[in-house]
Structure formats: structure tokens, C-alpha cells
Amino acid sequence: MILPPYFDAVDFDQFQSEKKFNKNSLGYFIEKDTIKLGDKGPGKYTIALIGVPDERKSPNKGTAKAPDEIRKHLYQLSCFDTSLKIIDLGNLKSGRSENDVYFALRDVIDYLNEEGIISIILGGGQDLSIGIARAFQTNPEFTMAIADARVDVKSTRETTDSKNFITRILKENPELFHLDMLGIQGHYVPPDILRYLKDSTFDYHQLGRIRDDFPMTEPILRNSHFLSFDISCIRYSDAEGQYSPSPNGFYSEEACQIARYAGLSNRLTAFGLFEVNPEMDRSGNSTALAAQIIWYFLEGTLHRRKEDPAINKEAFTRYFVEMEEHGETLVFFHQPVTNRWWIEISYGEGDSWIIACNESDYRKAITREIPEICLKYLRKTERQSK
């Protein structure tokens, strides 16, 4: 696949003219010439930045300016170890319709996935997640996480846009293995939508629950392939450049930590940051925060460790917990260095999933109480077998 025809190259001069970059800044460090991707080969890069200045299917007019505004701040931030090779592919060219953009995103993300390159998408509206999700349609274990204060599904027969894009993704991915909603606020989500998520064996994690146990988000993102992040999940006082402000939401520090957890995940190959509106960002604080969120994702990626008990069980400490009342044995895997946990959940004859979990799941199991994660995945097996 030849990538340059898909993109308008980064106009680096407009960023450099505002402030000179030194040799310790990302602006100096990031490769900005898409043509060099072909010269050096895709394998020379770890991460690709993709701007998508498209707002056609979002009521949040002004988001098309976000990619370049975020770059202005991102390029000023400090650089990383030179082992993290980053290329900014530029802005995806606008097609005749939003479907052209979705298909182009699918092609680009699919190609980058095949080449082992992690994608960071700067939107634009969150409906762009539709195109990104298409790149994972052939993955039977595709797991998606969405950070949002609301659950963007259709309530009537309205056309698809950034306020109901999840419905389109579920329609196009009927075998979606799992979906996690992070940071939803109950006062924005009708009970019937929460029941729908539960009946579909998907998970939602309300803002208050996450705040009570913030580390719970780490294994959720360790299991995910794609994180779609809506800036409106951050409270308005920390990010005013948004269309759907709320006095409640993640703190800016929490948003950066979520991005870092996503960067640490070996599974996660696409991270999209959407709905940032520079026209509403009077102080410039929101685009600066968006840049820092991306920075922490990059920092997490730099510290990824090749830990996977599904590949090498011997590298982990294994704990076997007899569940006498239920007639089965639960197997937990622990990596002492990173203090990360996994659980093996059997289904069928000789088949099993190895799922990232919390230490609290192990602690619950040794009291002879089946962890919630086991019940959830067993329900998923029952649903898929019908």
C-alpha cells in the first residue's frame, strides 16, 4: 500500500514559525515527511500520527481545526528515547462523503496494523471511530473501549453521526467480542441503554466507580485493541473546548493516566482523540491538554513490555484456586515485575481465554467467591452459542 496519496503533508513551517523547536522537543524528533515512509520502510517506525480534519457528521462544528491546533502544542513537548520512532503522516484527505473518509481510515489503519505500527488519530468527530473499527472486523477477539460521558447509540431512526456512532459500529461488527464504556455519567444515560449494554454482555464503568478504584481501568485497556476518547468525558473546568460540557468528568490528570494505560497495552494498536473544538477553546487549554494526553500515550508505549501468558505461561507465577462449590479450578497469572494479573477462563472442550484482570479478582477467588469477570465471560459464551 502506498500511503502518501491518502494524506496532505504536515505544513511544518506554520508550527515552527510560532516558536523554534530545540533538539529536545517532539517537533524536532518526529518525522514529518510522509514520502520517507516508503524510503525507510514501515518497519522503521513505531507510531504514526494521523490527523483527520473532518466534522461533517458531528454537530460540533470547529473540530476540523483540532488536528493542527493539537500539533502546535504537541510539537513543543519533550521528546523520548530515540527507540520510539514516530512519523506524522499528515492530514487524511477529505473525500466526497463521510463514507469515503471511513473507508480511507479503514485502509490506512489496517495497513499500519499489518506493519506493526501503532496509530494515533487526531479528530474530527467521534463518528470517525466507525472507519477505525472496520480495520478490526476480521479479528474475532476485537475489543473496543470508549471514554465518554454518554453512550452514543440511536434512540430513534436518526441518521448516523457522532452522537450515535456506536449503533453503526455494532451493526457493522455483529460479532464484536467486547465493548467497555469508561467514565459514563448516569444522569446522561437512560436506564434502557444500560440494560441494553448489560444484555449484550458489554460493560459500562461509571465515573464514580472508576474514581473509587482508578487502577481498574488498566486491565480494561490491556484487553482492548482500540480506544476512542471523547474530550467531553473530561470536566468542563479542565477542558472548555468541547461541544457537550459537563461540570463533572475526569480530571485532566486522570485523562492523561488513561492514555498512559492505553499506551502500555500490548494489544492496543489504535488510539483516537475526538471532539476537541479549538473555536470554543478560548484559553487554548483544551488543545494543550489534548497534546499532553497524546504525550502520555506515547510515554506509555515507550514502556510496553512483552508480557503475554497466552504465549509463554512459564514466565509468570501461576496460582490455582479450587472453587469447590462450583467444581472448577481458576488459574491466575501474575507478573511480579509489573504486578499485573491475568485469569484463564475455560469455555468448551480444551478452549480458554486469558483475560487481563485485577489483583482484587484473585483476592475474591481465594475467598471462594467467583470473580465478576468470570461470570461476565461465561455469559458471553452463552450468548455467542445461541
Domain-located, residue 237: yes
In a domain, 256, yes or no: yes
Kindly indicate the confidence band of residue 31, based on its pLDDT and cuts at 50, 70 and 90. Answer: confident
Is 282 found in the same domain as 375?
no
Same domain, 130 and 262: yes
Does pLDDT of 141 surpass 80?
yes
Residue 171 DSSP one-character state = H
Domain match, 57 and 133 both: yes
Question: Is 307 part of a structural domain of the chain?
Answer: no
Parent domain of 137:
4-302
- Nearest Cα neighbor of 222 from 191, 268, 185 is 268
In a domain, 210, yes or no: yes
Give me the pLDDT at residue 156, please.
79
3-state secondary structure of 359: helix
Q: Tell me if 308 is assigned to some domain.
A: no
Is 257 domain-assigned? yes
List the Cα angle 164/167/172 in 5-degree steps.
135
- The answer to the question of residue 47 being in a domain is yes
Q: Among 302, 335, 366, give the residue marking a domain's end.
A: 302
As for how many domains the chain has, the answer is 2
Confidence check: pLDDT of 294 > 90: yes
Q: Read off the amino acid at residue 347.
A: Y
Q: Do 298 and 317 lie in a common domain?
A: no
Task: Give the whole-angstrom CA distance, residue 88 versus residue 340.
Answer: 32
Per-residue confidence (pLDDT) for residue 359, from 0 to 100 = 94
Do 126 and 57 fall within a single domain?
yes
pLDDT, tens digit, for every residue of 159-203? 999 999 999 999 999 889 999 999 999 999 999 999 999 988 899
Q: Which of the listed residues 251, 268, 302 is the one where a domain comes to its end?
A: 302
CATH of the domain at 10: 3.40.800.10
DSSP category for residue 62: T
In this predicted structure, what is the pLDDT of residue 190?
A: 94
Among 282, 302, 322, residue at a domain's last position? 302
pLDDT over 60 at 385, yes or no: no
Same domain, 233 and 319: no
Task: Provide φ and ψ at 330, rounded to 5°.
Answer: -95, 135
